[in-house]
């Protein structure tokens, strides 16, 4: 099984949190082979990071170590990714940015926003469903989200539930950090937020700095030219008016669907991610040309405009009409 990684851009600020709680950031980074010259878009095997965090949690007798690290942020953004996300205008803007640029953080999962009516779900979907997922790295971002949104909206954010795919037991720490029901052994790691609260403005929003950081994040997350990915994108782009299934694309590329999936997972990608990105790009281009929602839906192969609207909101966090 191919092991995905955690970025150096994430590990350095994570190490800074260790210093705040009395642990050694230098020892942590050295154990992972992260040197001063390591580029921020380099990745360290996720399993190695899990083992180091597990060892620290065991040493401290702290099974909720991810939450302890989140509390050490004091609700402030950490690292380039954190600042890029949390200087957005609204909670929704921040979540959309997080889903779009989650590849800067990890190759293990992708984030998606799921519209469930008056509830919106932020879900982490693993690229390799059967691969091990470390508890502390799974809990840290959701705990950070809870603390940051609470502080940045002056307590107005409405969280409804948190679910983790790994086993565990609820302790007082979970109640303190999340303030809502937490369950384990779920299908996905995910957090439910009241949809109405996503339009709350964020304290500390900074459009000027935001624009400057966006260019740097784009640079770090843009993958190098990859012939296979470009071929997949080209084959999928030709079939956006109908469902470009793995079997169809694999035949077009002259490989098996299993081989295609394996090669994409090795790159931290999935066919769904590629197709969604192409459809969003095509939709935005069509909207810019004055096309209606119904026309865009038909062009992209959706049977109904409502189905397209739901998909567009999942991709961008906004309804097409906005």
Q: Are the C-beta atoms of 7 and 105 separated by less than 8 Å? A: yes
Nearest to 197 by CA among 163, 139, 162, 150: 150
Residues 53 and 93 in one domain: yes
Q: How many CA atoms lie within 13 A of 119 on its CB side?
A: 11
Instruction: Work out the mean pLDDT of the chain and round it to a whole number.
Output: 88
Residues 205 and 228 in one domain: no
The number of distinct structural domains making up the chain is 2
- How far is residue 11's CA from residue 25's CA, in Å, rounded to a whole number? 10
- How far is residue 100's CA from residue 98's CA, in Å, rounded to a whole number? 6
Residue 260's alpha-carbon distances to 78, 132, 242, 249, in angstroms, are 36, 22, 19, 9
**What are the structure tokens assigned to 185, written together?**
């052994």
Residues 25 and 159 in one domain: yes
Residue 2 is predicted with a pLDDT of 47
How far is residue 99 CA from its own chain's centroid? 4
CATH number at residue 132: 3.90.1520
- State pLDDT tens for residues 308-318: 888 888 887 77
Contacts 24+ apart (CB under 8 A), 240-246: 240/275, 240/278, 240/279, 240/282, 240/299, 240/300, 240/301, 241/299, 241/300, 241/301, 242/301, 243/301, 244/271, 244/275, 246/271
Q: Decide which of 161 and 305 is more confident.
A: 161
Asked whether residue 322 is domain-assigned, the answer is: no
- State pLDDT tens for residues 104-145: 899 899 999 999 999 999 999 998 777 778 999 999 999 999
**What are the structure tokens assigned to 267, written together?**
């790159």
* Residue 282's pLDDT band (cuts 50, 70, 90): confident
Residue 242: Cβ-neighbour burial (10 angstroms; 0-12, 13-18, 19+): exposed
Asked whether residue 64 is domain-assigned, the answer is: yes
CATH number at residue 236: 1.10.10.60
Which of the listed residues 220, 248, 265 is the one where a domain comes to its end?
Answer: 220
Asked whether residue 129 is domain-assigned, the answer is: yes
- State pLDDT tens for residues 86-115: 888 899 999 999 998 898 899 899 999 999
- How far is residue 65's CA from residue 50's CA, in Å, rounded to a whole number? 11
- State pLDDT tens for residues 3-49: 578 999 899 999 999 999 999 999 999 999 999 888 888 899 999 99
Domain residues for 149?
5-220
pLDDT above 90 as % of the chain: 47
DSSP for residue 90: B
- State pLDDT tens for residues 202-258: 998 887 777 777 777 777 766 556 778 888 888 888 888 777 888 888 888 888 888
- How far is residue 180's CA from residue 161's CA, in Å, rounded to a whole number? 5
Asked whether residue 321 is domain-assigned, the answer is: no
Residue 188 is predicted with a pLDDT of 94
- How far is residue 40's CA from residue 102's CA, in Å, rounded to a whole number? 14
- State pLDDT tens for residues 2-11: 457 899 989 9
pLDDT above 70 as % of the chain: 97
> How many residues in the chain?
322
């Amino acid at each position: 099984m191919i092991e995905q990684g955690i970025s150096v851009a994430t590990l350095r600020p994570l190490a800074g949190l260790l210093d705040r709680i009395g642990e050694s950031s230098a020892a942590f980074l050295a154990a992972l082979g992260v040197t001063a010259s390591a580029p921020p878009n380099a990745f360290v095997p996720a399993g190695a990071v899990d083992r180091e965090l597990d060892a620290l949690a065991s040493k401290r007798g702290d099974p909720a170590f991810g939450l302890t690290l989140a509390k050490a942020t004091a609700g402030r953004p950490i690292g380039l990714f954190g600042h890029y996300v949390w200087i957005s205008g609204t909670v929704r803007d921040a979540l959309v940015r997080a889903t779009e640029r989650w590849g800067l953080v990890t190759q293990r999962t992708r984030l998606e926003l799921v519209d469930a009516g008056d509830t919106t779900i932020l879900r982490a979907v693993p690229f390799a469903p059967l691969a091990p997922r470390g508890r502390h790295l799974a809990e840290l971002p959701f705990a950070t989200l809870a603390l940051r949104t609470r502080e940045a909206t002056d307590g107005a954010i409405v969280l409804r539930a948190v679910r983790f795919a790994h086993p565990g037991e609820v302790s007082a720490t979970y109640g303190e950090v999340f303030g809502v029901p937490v369950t384990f052994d779920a299908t996905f790691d995910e957090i439910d937020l009241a949809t109405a609260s996503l339009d709350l403005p964020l304290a500390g929003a900074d459009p000027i700095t935001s624009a400057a950081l966006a260019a740097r994040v784009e640079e770090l997350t843009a993958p190098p030219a990859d012939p296979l990915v470009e071929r997949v994108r080209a084959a999928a782009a030709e079939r956006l008016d109908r469902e470009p299934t793995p079997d169809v694309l694999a035949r077009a590329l002259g490989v098996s669907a299993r081989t295609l999936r394996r090669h994409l997972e090795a790159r931290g990608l999935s066919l769904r991610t590629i197709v969604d990105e192409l459809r969003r790009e095509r939709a935005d281009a069509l909207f810019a040309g004055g096309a209606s929602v119904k026309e865009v839906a038909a062009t992209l192969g959706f049977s109904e405009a409502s189905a397209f609207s739901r998909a567009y909101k999942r991709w961008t966090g906004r309804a097409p009409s906005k």
